[in-house]
Amino acid sequence: MAARSRVSSLLSRSFSASSPFLSRSQGRNLNNGSRIVRRFGTSSAAEEVISPSVQVSYTKLLIDGNFVDAASGKTFPTLDPRTGEVIAHVAEGDAEDINRAVKAARKAFDEGPWPKMTAYERSRVMLRFADLVEKHSEELAALESWDNGKTYEQALTAEIPMVARLFRYYAGWADKIHGLTVPADGNYHVQTLHEPIGVAGQIIPWNFPLLMFAWKVGPALACGNTIVLKTAEQTPLTAFYVGKLFLEAGLPPGVLNIVSGFGATAGASLASHMDVDKLAFTGSTDTGKVILGLAANSNLKPVTLELGGKSPFIVFEDADIDKAVELAHFALFFNQGQCCCAGSRTYVHEKVYDEFVEKAKARALKRVVGDPFKKGIEQGPQIDSKQFEKVMKYIRSGVESNATLECGGGQVGDKGYFIQPTVFSNVKDDMLIAQDEIFGPVQSILKFSDVDEVIKRANDTRYGLAAGVFTKSLDTANRVSRALKAGTVWVNCFDVFDAAIPFGGYKMSGNGREKGIYSLNNYLQVKAVVTPLNNPAWI
Amino acid sequence: MASRRVSSLLSRSLISSSSLFSLRDPLLNRGARRYSNLAASLEDTITPPVKVEHTQLLINGKFVDSASGKTFPTLDPRTGEVIAQVAEGDVEDVNRAVVAARKAFDQGPWPRMTAYERSKILFRFADLIEKHNDEIAALETWDNGKPYEQSANIEVPMLARVFRYYAGWADKIHGMTVPGDGSHHVQTLHEPIGVAGQIIPWNFPLLMLSWKLGPALACGNTVVLKTAEQTPLSALLVGRLLHEAGLPEGVVNIVSGFGPTAGAAIASHMDIDKVAFTGSTDVGKIILELASKSNLKAVTLELGGKSPFIVCEDADVDQAVEMAHFALFFNQGQCCCAGSRTFVHERVYDEFVEKAKARAINRAVGDPFKSGIEQGPQVDSEQFEKILKYIRHGVDSGATLQAGGDRHGSKGYYIQPTVFSDVKDDMLIAKDEIFGPVQTILKFKNLDEVIARANNSRYGLAAGVFTQNLDTANRLMRALRVGSVWINCFDVFDATIPFGGYKMSGIGREKGIYSLNNYLQVKAVVTAIKNPAWL
């Protein structure tokens, strides 16, 4: 998932005019930063750890408008990926806490004020929330960076503003959800009502904690649903903070309940709960299958899934190589490579392959890795030791399968989970590094000869989340856009995540679409209402 | 399901019937009273005016035996005798069908044809359905047991109507251009998903085929369709007509067979991109689980129901009785949206029960090929036994048996129109889907109560509301957690009206504009733009 258009439009500033919306204020820092960064060496991770300028104020479950301990009293530690040290102990939600949260959400939906409020009132709560997010953007960004390891500049200038932007987008939808009147075959008046589904269960990942929160909570609230949201155990902190802001914005108690905890316990009980009417999950394909199975075996709640990917990034021979290298680098390395839509199979036409590899290597070597709170840093640590080990395992697999390690391949520094920006060339389609989702800073560069071949190879995967296409030819762009079995095709750009653009997967990358008008379907039931007509003036 | 014509005929006195449906069919309801419900099924069984021509699987444009060579008998519900032996599809046949559908999609002409060409094939198919109307109707009735008049005058015409509806959609599937936050041109493409697996039930074999095939084909998908083992015949006939209409080979493949073998193979197939299922909630759960364990194919489910039919105190009782009777007994009670919990306000309850009983006793049961018959046999012995078990259960649990309660005649699967009054919410007959001619009448006092009781079900497929009060109608319409609310009508099934369930009655909507979503993938295409004139 996610990045947002600001990062991409900044990175692609030289190719396309950046939008007035995105060129305001804070954007400038990052832009300047990306020029300055080259001054920092990759050794910065070894320097002293910077203290985040934020307090951890909320570590308890948010249920029915109150922050409460887990029923069991248990807590779990959330760790600083820079060091592996404990940031805070957080309430560990389990089945009983999910039950409590569902009960509160059920009441807020069945009896409570939320779906009975006017859509305009709901939109105003969301707009006030967006204002509060902006007001607290520095604390939120610091907390997000601390818990996740992403760069503070990215959190502050790209992600938190995007959270506010998304909630304003969905606030605008609240009073624009129209049903239809429907032509009948006889003397009937037919209409459809687009109703909220009820209680939505939402399970979000750790790579973009607040953006994924916004993608899920935004449409659910705009459509009048109430929510039980489970955060990832790696990144529980920021959701509690914005949960508090939602209460300040006037959200009634019980409308949004937030449970921190683990997938096998809290997540599973949410997915299999008989009183949860809908489930949305973002995470791995394997877990997505489990979630869908739990829904099937419980109450058949509709499920939207946003899962893994192994997205191709295709550089044609007519592409401007320097721009393609920069964008392919961004497509893979953004957010420490922890994007489900990462451009993790870089297909380069044979005529430009050698030049591309040389320049991609040079770009990766220049990537500035270090403490994410330091200015100008491009890459922080991976989220945790498990992901760190997994990425290192894939790097070893790449070497063993005889891909050429162009750069990187090892840890940065000796503490935390920093990994060197790594580039493999001469990658073959059947190597594990070209098939599995690595979810780390490992670029795999493959060679192709012609369009037919690259279309076939790009589609030869169980995934179908996104694709990048780099070409100046309109015919090539049009042809490849249709042929790729992927939910998003970025042509001469990547990771453009405007609120209005739908996002989601073909094949085993998921079901349904988030963002844009399409996301509303996930949180609405359609009810047909039919009445006979006496002496109608027209049919 | 059902069709509008039935409902408009039954409510002929209530409202003027629509011009589209007043073409054929003079009677159905009026004439029916002339027949007694006692003797009809005991008479000689009428020989259906049709030959069974197709009993093999339809794969890649050809009728073929199953790979195993096995067949199974399809039975005449009037007698339990064999109509024909039909090829029994299994995993290997589903594989062959998927290979054909895959090729027709990945390399073949279907998604590469213009939408206009696809629509013309569907229009020609609709014409052929009309041309073969009586033959198709006879086959449908023979295999299923539903009255021939219902098949010939309502369902088969509705089949043509549904395909014309979807033919019209083929060239009207638009993507969007989307406002971006920056210098990007954003568009969405609405693409066919690929190979759709479709599993249809036996209660409305051809209508369910049209609900499934229509949108899949209009959107450019190819299909592997499994028919119900009780009713394999009519789909094979219309499959031939589809090819006569010019459908390229491999675009629609039809496999007859059983759920645990052929059905499960479709739901768990790694090369099927989407599955749509209509049937019971229990099987729907299995289908979804198979999808989750295989390739996460998108699933739409249209499942069971226990739909409330609510008669408020201000309703015209005679009209309400007739409509409630129709809501439950139509198609031998074998409708997933049957109005199977008749809630009647206490002030009109006694009068309603008396009249509902009288109407049920008047219902003409008999050989479905006989003119004027309202009710034929249940589809098979399994359903027959299940319904009789529920009737015994109703008696045992203390509900008052007002009419019926037993089999009708001595052969086949006929059941007497049965009415229970004094039914309580916690009785099994008020909770389970009986899927037979058994009406259960419950009493209520006020709106709050009936809303709570009507919604207190794991199902949420449909509801009927009978009232003259606008406030009552508006309130109930919003409060009922169901996919269809029919106010002063029931079983209105125009092609444009979406149908589907809340809660455990299913996922997704069929018919209408909403059904297209089930067969389309959304692809966002974003291109960097230079010097845009506007954003």
Residues shown for chain B: 535
Which one from A306, A326, A406, A437 is the annotated catalytic residue? A306
Predicted local distance difference test score (pLDDT) of residue A180: 96
We find that the CATH architecture of domain B308-497 is 3-Layer(aba) Sandwich (3.40)
Catalytic status, residue A233: no
Question: How many angstroms separate the CA of residue A292 from the nearest CA in chain B?
Answer: 6
Q: Please indicate whether, in this complex, the C-beta atoms of B482 and A527 are within 8 angstroms of each other.
A: yes
**Testing the interface with B: which of A188, A456, A478, A489 to mutate, by most B Cβ within 10 A?**
A188
Distances (CA, A) of B343 to A531, B4, B340, B463: 19, 23, 9, 11
Cα distance between residue B353 and residue B466, in whole Å = 15
Among the partner residues B20, B502, B512, nearest to A182 by beta-carbon distance = B512
We find that the CATH architecture of domain B57-303 is 3-Layer(aba) Sandwich (3.40)
Per residue in A34-71, pLDDT (tens digit) is: 333 333 344 444 568 999 999 999 999 999 999 999 99
Per residue in B214-263, pLDDT (tens digit) is: 999 999 999 999 999 999 999 999 999 999 999 999 999 999 999 999 99
CB A209 within 8 A of CB A283: no
Interface of B with A in 131-190 (CB under 8 A): 161, 176, 178-184, 186, 188-189
Residue A513 reports pLDDT greater than 80: yes
Predicted local distance difference test score (pLDDT) of residue B44: 82
Q: For residue B175, what are its two tokens?
A: 């993507």
Q: For residue B520, what are its two tokens?
A: 């389309």
The pLDDT of A272-289, averaged and rounded, is 98
- Give the distance from CA B452 to its chain's centroid: 27
Say what angle helices B133-144 and B233-244 make with each other, to 10 degrees.
Answer: 160
- Of A48-52, A72-76, A406-410, B39-43, least confident by mean pLDDT is B39-43
B115 Cβ under 8 Å from any chain A Cβ: no
Predicted local distance difference test score (pLDDT) of residue A336: 98
**Residue B392 phi, psi (nearest 5):** -60, -40
Alpha helices in B22-107 (DSSP H): 91-106
Predicted local distance difference test score (pLDDT) of residue A47: 64
**Testing the interface with B: which of A168, A173, A185 to mutate, by most B Cβ within 10 A?**
A185
Question: How many angstroms separate the CA of residue A333 from the nearest CA in chain B?
Answer: 20
Per residue in A354-393, pLDDT (tens digit) is: 999 999 999 999 999 999 999 999 999 999 999 999 999 9
Interface of B with A in 432-471 (CB under 8 A): 458
Among the partner residues A307, A500, A526, nearest to B509 by beta-carbon distance = A526
* CA dihedral sign, ordered B140, B141, B147, B148: positive
* B44 CB neighbour count, 10 Å cutoff: 6
Per-residue pLDDT of chain B (535 residues; tens, 9 = 90+): 334 444 444 433 333 333 333 333 333 333 333 334 444 445 689 999 999 999 999 999 999 999 999 999 999 999 999 999 999 999 999 999 999 999 999 998 999 999 999 999 999 999 999 999 999 999 999 999 999 999 999 999 999 999 999 999 999 999 999 999 999 999 999 999 999 999 999 999 999 999 999 999 999 999 999 999 999 999 999 999 999 999 999 999 999 999 999 999 999 999 999 999 999 999 999 999 999 999 999 999 999 999 999 999 999 999 999 999 999 999 999 999 999 999 999 999 999 999 999 999 999 999 999 999 999 999 999 999 999 999 999 999 999 999 999 999 999 999 999 999 999 999 999 999 999 999 999 999 999 999 999 999 999 999 999 999 999 999 999 999 999 999 999 999 999 999 999 999 999 999 999 999 999 999 999 999 998 989 8
Radius of gyration of chain A (CA): 23
**Testing the interface with A: which of B292, B299, B519 to mutate, by most A Cβ within 10 A?**
B292
Domains of chain A: 61-307+516-524 (3.40.605.10), 311-492 (3.40.309.10)
* A59 CB neighbour count, 10 Å cutoff: 18
Per residue in A101-133, pLDDT (tens digit) is: 999 999 999 998 999 999 999 999 999 999 999
**Testing the interface with B: which of A494, A501, A513 to mutate, by most B Cβ within 10 A?**
A501
Q: Please indicate whether, in this complex, the C-beta atoms of A499 and B181 are within 8 angstroms of each other.
A: yes
Picking from B343, B315, B341, the residue whose alpha carbon sits closest to that of residue B328 is B341
Predicted local distance difference test score (pLDDT) of residue B16: 33
Confidence (pTM): 0.90
- pLDDT bucket at A212, cuts 50 / 70 / 90: very high
Q: Please indicate whether, in this complex, the C-beta atoms of B530 and A500 are within 8 angstroms of each other.
A: no
Cα distance between residue A219 and residue A62, in whole Å = 20
Measured between beta carbons, the chain A residues lying within 8 angstroms of B303 are 300
- In terms of CA atoms, which chain A residue is nearest residue B6? A186
The pLDDT of A431-460, averaged and rounded, is 98
Cα distance between residue B197 and residue B139, in whole Å = 24
Return mean pLDDT, chain A.
Answer: 92
Predicted local distance difference test score (pLDDT) of residue A539: 85
Predicted local distance difference test score (pLDDT) of residue A277: 98
Per residue in B2-61, pLDDT (tens digit) is: 344 444 444 333 333 333 333 333 333 333 333 344 444 456 899 999 999 999 999 999
Q: Please indicate whether, in this complex, the C-beta atoms of A531 and B522 are within 8 angstroms of each other.
A: no
- Interface size between A and B, measured as CB pairs under 8 A: 248
Contacts with B99 (C-beta within 8 Å, 6 or more apart), sequence order: none
Q: Please indicate whether, in this complex, the C-beta atoms of B523 and A488 are within 8 angstroms of each other.
A: yes
Separate counts of helices (H) and strands (E) for chain A: 18, 20
Predicted local distance difference test score (pLDDT) of residue A23: 34
Q: Please indicate whether, in this complex, the C-beta atoms of A516 and B495 are within 8 angstroms of each other.
A: no
Per residue in A2-46, pLDDT (tens digit) is: 334 444 443 433 333 333 333 333 333 333 333 333 333 444 445
Cα distance between residue B501 and residue B109, in whole Å = 35
List chain B domain ranges: 57-303, 308-497
- In terms of CA atoms, which chain A residue is nearest residue B465? A531
A499-527: b (≥16 Cβ within 10 Å) or e: bbbbbbbbbbbbbbbbbbbbbbbbbbbbb
Helix (H, G, I), strand (E, B) or coil at B423: coil
Cα distance between residue B227 and residue B202, in whole Å = 8
Predicted local distance difference test score (pLDDT) of residue A45: 44
Predicted local distance difference test score (pLDDT) of residue A238: 98
Measured between beta carbons, the chain A residues lying within 8 angstroms of B521 are 487, 506
